[in-house]
Structure 1
Amino acid sequence: MRNRARSSSACTSPSHGKMRAMKIFGFSVSLILINMASIMERADENLLPAVYKEVSEAFNAGPTELGYLTFIRNFVQALSSPLAGVLALHYDRPAVLAMGTAFWALSTAAVGASQHFGQVAIWRAVNGFGLAIVIPALQSFIADSYMDGVRGTGFGLLSLVGSIGGIGGGVLATVMAGQEFWGVPGWRFAFAMMASLSLLIGFLVYMFVIDPRRTTLMTHGTEEDSERTSLVGKGSVPPPSIWGDSWLAMISVMKVQTFQIIVLQGIVGSLPWTSMVFFTLWFELIGFDHNSSAALNSLFAIGCAMGSLMGGFIADRVSKFYPDTGRIMCAQFSAFMGIPFSWIVLAVIPQSVNSWNAFAVALFLMGLSISWCATCANNPMFAEVVPLKHRTMIYAFDRAFEGSFSSFAAPAVGYLTEKIYGYDSKSLSLANGSVQGAYALSRGLLTMTVIPFGLCCLFYSPLYIMFKRDRDNARMASSKELELT
């Protein structure tokens, strides 16, 4: 009777009953809203780098100070990411996503209203806390929504639609930056508008998205939960502990060697991506106007979006023929391609406004080829080497380790640019660009891209041995859990 009552109440809860029937053109409303949340998350990430020039002028900040803004957000995000795994173990992920969205949206609005550089830094830290909760929950949600053979494509679609948000956020902020709206500087108005849209999406996610794990629990977990409840009442089984369960999940994830290797390469491999937040400033130092800079960033982002989907799709196909090594080979190819393309974009093409076409082609092809790793290997492989209930935790700890180290990349670019290559923000005029400033920044970027891409490619190699063993262990553990259920 208790099992029937619990099953009945779960199936007839308002949100669940509503969402089971809600589809748009055959697509799950839950997945649509999750992808919309990804769009807003990526738009928010690209908002500040797109207006670095205006922020630099408003607060008299150089590349090092601007780099610290990215560092603060990324570092707080990294430290806070395990919290997403803890929350997802005990609460529905839509509620977790809505909470994180509220943090990032309110902090985005506060950045736009800040009057001092210190205020911007504080609110960027709050922004990182919100993103720390959202990103692992999004990734595990997608992992649970697709089967192994098409999971790369699923992550590719998430990355593709997220990139649309990144493009939109970056272009919108860059174009609006040079204007005023009702007496408000355009870059500030862009932050307020993005915050409002993010709050709306967070509300929709909370109201209408159904966690796919809930269906699994209703299918397999009702009798087990009832039996456990009975045993707890008799004193045979201790009551569940939130922090105890979370600690066991953390230990389980940390012991997986595939996780350790992917995190190691990710720590190094994410450095170039963090450094690329300076692309907009670099284009404007070359002499490109806001529209031309936004167009170049958009072409690079479009290439990355298409590449992430293409990489996930290709890896899904290759892994059918080489299930133990196919995804690893695809990831190494993508990481290696970062070396020649970084050299071409930052050192070979003349840094002149006359080189717009050359930059456009090179940046698009660069984005198309270097953006595979997360969708073709990292995220799909994480889903295969831990049990279902630990997926959010493994994505959270990946963000924690990679983010904490990669957050140093932006200040490092600023330091190299100013101390090694001679960039002086106080003597340069940002209004019409600066040849010397553009050259210095490009050399700082080149240092922080070519070397990390090469190391990233090398660090994938141990997975040829470790991945198969960890995947088989996870499958065995999952089979035992299902048998017990």
Structure 2
Amino acid sequence: MMRVKKIFGFSVSLILINLASIMERADENLLPAVYKEVGAAFNAGPTDLGYLNFVMNFLKSIASPLAGILALHYDRPAVLAIGTVFWALSTGAVGVSQHFQQVAFWRAINGLGLAIVIPALQSFIADSYKDGTRGAGFGLLSLIGAVGGIGGSIVATLMAGKDYWGLPGWRLAFIMVALVSFIIGILVYLYCTDPRRIPGNHLLDDDDYERSHLSSKDVLPPTSIWMDSWVAMKSVMKVKTFQIIVLQGIIGSLPWTAIVFFTMWFELIGFDNRSSAALNSLFAIGCASGALLGGVLADRLSRHYPDSARIMCAQFSAFMGIPFSWILLTVIPQSTDYWFAYAVTLFFMGITISWCATSANNPMFAEVVPPKHRTMIYAFDRAFEGSFASLAAPAVGLVTEKIYGYDAKTVNIANGSAQGAYALSRGLLTMMILPFGICVLFYSPLYLVFKHDRDNAKVARFKDQELI
């Protein structure tokens, strides 16, 4: 029998899962933090840099269903380890690449690794918490993961301006993250226990555990991996709550993808590496705190308003992106004299616009499908949302260059550029305010369908138990 391993009362599995989340976020934040240095090393402008982000995000999205297929038939620690090895090796390879095409190739492989890891992480957390507490669980995962994002951005930004043993700092940052990620992946494989294999788990009654145990002993006939995957895919795709959340997510993810240009924008304004890193860190701290706040608040409100509380929290969070984007990108003068104004705005912007995933999307996904389909629903969410959202980074570059006249050949990034900063800010504004507004509207149909889908999932689970 599988038992939960603990250290000082804390689950080893959850500790390692959160460490994996830290490194996943650090990995995602590496390249945006060193856009200026990478652009200089490969003579690349905003459109080229946006293309690197697009390649990674697009592969991360379209390959996400692979995680759902693997998780149906293999323990999630093994699935996580496979994905981690992919992302670690590709991150290290980016650090030693000599040509832009090589960087693009390895960013694509990086996306494949993240495609396997992220849905498996989300379903692992969903299976580790009860209904009514998942908002806090996802919020805590986001908060801890943000430590990695902040750390990755700070370390990369500070290292980027120096050489170490003849190696540019940004390259060494990639190699360091790759090494630590690889070690975490091995530890996850060796010491994590899948919640589905733990007897007494609140999500797995005795009959379910016995069935899983018998299946692993070949007492029950094996099922086809492709047939199971096809059934799971069809089941997930039919859920209206899933369809609506994915639709709003396609639009709602655009601003978050555009935000990767913040570091470059700060440096164009004239802020040095340390000031830019500090601004990014304050925004990340705000987002991490907001994710936990939104998750906990939605959990508590859902006890009184189970059919609507999570939706209201998500709509409030998406709406707050509109005024804060306007203030940040147009109201505050684009000058290094206003660092404090940027810092305060970014911090409170992060606190208020980061609720959607932890307060609504992820907890609601766990409630509208049977437990065995949870990895699949998170995987398809990433597949649809991410593939469209990945267009935002190159779109920001195109708008900045074609409409607002940004010219990579004439802009002096090293010393700042008022013209370049203005052009990039307008490109960011275009890709943020409108999507936030549409996102608010697209959440509304959930008031009509969420309760029905949640009840259907409960009925489906009871039927499965009766068949057993």
Q: 2:105 aligns to what?
A: 122
| 2:403 pairs with 1:420 | yes
Question: How many Å apart are 1:238 and its aligned residue?
Answer: 7.0
Note the aligned Cα RMSD (angstroms).
Answer: 1.5
- The residue type paired with residue 228 of structure 2 is D
- The residue type paired with residue 352 of structure 1 is S
Alignment of 1:261-300 (within 5 A): 261-300=244-283
Of 287, 294, 318, the match for 2:301: 318
| 2:447 pairs with 1:464 | yes
**1:437-477 deviation line (CA, Å, top 9, x unaligned):** 00000000000000000000100000000000000000111
Secondary structure class of the residue paired with 1:148: coil
Distance 1:101 1:229, change over 3 A: closer
Q: 1:176 aligns to what?
A: 159
Question: How many Å apart are 1:430 and its aligned residue?
Answer: 1.1
**1:18-77 deviation line (CA, Å, top 9, x unaligned):** xx3x32232111101100000000000000000000000000000000000000000011
Q: 1:349 aligns to what?
A: 332
Question: How many Å apart are 1:220 and its aligned residue?
Answer: 2.6
TM-score scaled to structure 1, two decimals? 0.94
- The residue type paired with residue 221 of structure 1 is D
Distance 1:448 1:226, change over 3 A: closer
Q: 2:206 aligns to what?
A: 219
State the alpha-carbon separation in 2 of the partners of residues 92 and 258 from structure 1: 27
- The residue type paired with residue 53 of structure 1 is K
State the alpha-carbon separation in 2 of the partners of residues 122 and 219 from structure 1: 47
Of 86, 111, 114, the match for 1:131: 114
| 2:431 pairs with 1:448 | yes
Q: 1:26 aligns to what?
A: 9
Of 176, 187, 205, the match for 2:170: 187
Q: 2:140 aligns to what?
A: 157
Alignment of 1:352-371 (within 5 A): 352-371=335-354
State the alpha-carbon separation in 1 of the partners of residues 185 and 215 from structure 2: 34
State the alpha-carbon separation in 1 of the partners of residues 269 and 7 from structure 2: 46
- The residue type paired with residue 223 of structure 2 is P
Identity %: 72
Poorly superposed stretches of 4+, deviation over 6 Å: 226-230
Q: 1:148 aligns to what?
A: 131
Of 97, 107, 111, the match for 2:80: 97
**1:358-387 deviation line (CA, Å, top 9, x unaligned):** 000000000000000000000000000000
State the alpha-carbon separation in 2 of the partners of residues 130 and 108 from structure 1: 10
Larger-Rg structure = 1
Alignment of 1:424-443 (within 5 A): 424-443=407-426
- The residue type paired with residue 390 of structure 1 is H
Question: How many Å apart are 1:226 and its aligned residue?
Answer: 7.9
**1:201-229 deviation line (CA, Å, top 9, x unaligned):** 00110000000011256833355468879
State the alpha-carbon separation in 2 of the partners of residues 129 and 146 from structure 1: 27
State the alpha-carbon separation in 2 of the partners of residues 144 and 105 from structure 1: 26
- The residue type paired with residue 162 of structure 1 is G
State the alpha-carbon separation in 2 of the partners of residues 218 and 476 from structure 1: 16
**1:90-149 deviation line (CA, Å, top 9, x unaligned):** 000000000000000000000010000000000000000000000000000000000011
Q: 1:7 aligns to what?
A: none
State the alpha-carbon separation in 2 of the partners of residues 409 and 181 from structure 1: 34
